[in-house]
Amino acid sequence: MSGRDAEHQQWWRHAVTYEVYVRSFADADGDGVGDLPGLTARLPHLRDLGVDALWITPFYRSPQRDHGYDVADYTDVDPLFGTLDDADALVARAHELDLRVIVDLVPNHTSSEHPWFRAALEAGPGSPERARYLFREGRGADGSLPPNNWRSVFGGAAWTRVPDGQWYLHLFDSSQPDLDWRNPEVGDMFESVLRFWLDRGVDGFRIDVAHGLVKEEGLRDQVVPEGSEPGSAAPTGGSMIERTLRDEPMWDQPEVHEVYRRWRRVLDEYAGPRGDRILVAEAWTQTPESMARFVRPDEMHQAFNFSWLLAPWSAEAFAAVVTGTLEAVGPVGGSPTWVLSNHDVIRHPTRYGGGPRGLARARAATLTMLALPGSAYLYQGEELGLEEVDVAPEHRTDPSWFRTGEAGRDGCRVPLPWDGDAAPYGFGPGTGQPWLPQPAGWGPRSVAAQQADPGSTLAFYRAALAARRTFATTAGESVTDLRVEGAVLSFRRGPVTVVLNCGSEAVPLPPGEVLASSAPAGTVLSRDLPADCAVWLRDPAAR
């Protein structure tokens, strides 16, 4: 295979993928919820932005208790989002625009409305129907205590009791019963789901809770250090920014990798003229090494590398993530991934302090990320510089809010502003309001307003992605000269030197032609790099 052919085949190694939170992207039918036809109509925005692929959050039949991450039928489209024909039209249009399509697969749990779970409830204890899930007897004399001490990621016990006295496990909401992946029926069902969507032409799958499918046999108690609470390293709203090494019999069990080896064989059968069909893991693992196990050559193609997103605003912390990631992923031949925002975490301008400084830092972190080897994931609205919205309690819908009373994840899911000066800002037709209220004053943040402004964050993203194309595929998969001097991080990637200033003072810049910068438009970067700013400098000799 020539270098060019290999590059086409392995397009994912350097792709930029844009996450579409389908409820909040664009609403064609005016019911206040985004849908597939709305997304299809707005695909040119993604082409103009310059991304290579989109990942669409779940649009399958679902009671929407966790906004689609509670699937009742894996092979049909929820009427809220459209029809199977709409899904086909979306894939076809995306391909016409040279965008690949990654869909979301939710294999850890089904909805409690899934026919399998309904049948399990009806069939009763000891039945083959119950054996597809994790039903157990309770503890205590009358079985009224949960079978173990595990907690739901969304708060409260991870077990719910059914009327006949048994309990079922749900690592998330009680409407999301966990499947028993040690039961071969489960694996067979998901293989047929993979084939269903591959046959319809999708280019890959983002695997929800990829580290959770198999639990430690015996479902023992989690060992919790004295003085702390049982819990998990998985995401809940903004509260998962810290991770510690802990005992996790519910996550990252060795047997989970067998599942992905099987799936990889299936996907490899489908590689074709559009190149590889891919698997990307959402795996909140505890170390870069455990993340790398998911991307061994016969498993997934990629795994989200949440360490970049979890790092504080610090040159040292960013440098440690780059080094740790490359050291872990390199030996298994994987390609690293980088991400700053998604539909489960507080938007990165807000994490970095909000306001103009938060946005400046967010742009700088984004530009730095886009120079790194491997592939980057963007979250809808970050190209507009959107901040987390403070959603009023009466409008909140996140199941974790209902289970814990903590604000939850609605604030990063507010529907996008496309044009105009008042809600719904072109999100849907007419003046009908979207499912989460949009803030007043979002007009200047809309796509239309930013399109017309060369100094906008949208213009910055477009320029950065265009500049990335000039070197990303040819600059190799390593970084060199990684340094931290004071509050400044710098490294080289091929012909490009990247400098990120995390300090509060301007710093002198090395020589080089400015290829891209996160500074406000009109800033001339000649000798100094301002605080909270990043730049790509092209080595003059490399032209």
CB of 171 to ligand NOJ, least distance (A): 8
* 3, 71, 346 from 238: Cα distances, Å: 42, 24, 6
Whichever of 380 and 450 has its CB closer to ligand NOJ, that residue is 380
Measured CA to CA, the distance from residue 474 to residue 483 in angstroms comes to 23
Site string for ligand NOJ, 447-486 (x = CB under 6 A): ----------------------------------------
Tell me the residue length of the chain. 543
- 8 Å CB contact between 165 and 138: yes
Q: What is the dihedral of CA 523, 526, 528, 533, to 10 degrees?
A: 40
* Helix then strand then coil, % of the chain, to nearest 5: 30, 15, 50
Whichever of 27 and 282 has its CB closer to ligand NOJ, that residue is 282
CB of 296 to ligand NOJ, least distance (A): 23
Site string for ligand NOJ, 197-216 (x = CB under 6 A): -----------xx-------
Annotated catalytic, 269? yes
CB of 421 to ligand NOJ, least distance (A): 31
Catalytic residue among 137, 269, 298, 485: 269
CB of 106 to ligand NOJ, least distance (A): 6
154 SS3 class: coil
H or E, element range at 501: strand 496-501
Q: Is residue 66 part of the contact set for ligand NOJ (CB under 6 A)? A: yes
> Running DSSP on this structure, what letter comes out for residue 138?
-
Whichever of 14 and 343 has its CB closer to ligand NOJ, that residue is 343
Of 26, 105, 106, 278, the one binding ligand NOJ by CB under 6 A: 106
Q: Which residues of 238-248 are buried (b: 16+ CB within 10 A; e: fewer)?
A: bbbeeeeebeb
Site for ligand NOJ in 334-353 (CB under 6 A): 343-344
Whichever of 154 and 338 has its CB closer to ligand NOJ, that residue is 154
CB of 104 to ligand NOJ, least distance (A): 8
CB of 173 to ligand NOJ, least distance (A): 8
CA proximity to 339, closest of 409, 264, 282, 411 = 282
Site string for ligand NOJ, 170-189 (x = CB under 6 A): --x-----------------
DSSP readout, 415-432?
Answer: PPP-SSSSTTTTSSSTTP
Of 11, 18, 59, 69, the one binding ligand NOJ by CB under 6 A: 69
Helices 457-469 and 355-371, axial angle in degrees (round to 10): 10
Catalytic positions, written as ranges: 208, 269
Residues that bind ligand NOJ (CB under 6 A): 66, 69, 106, 172, 208-209, 282, 343-344
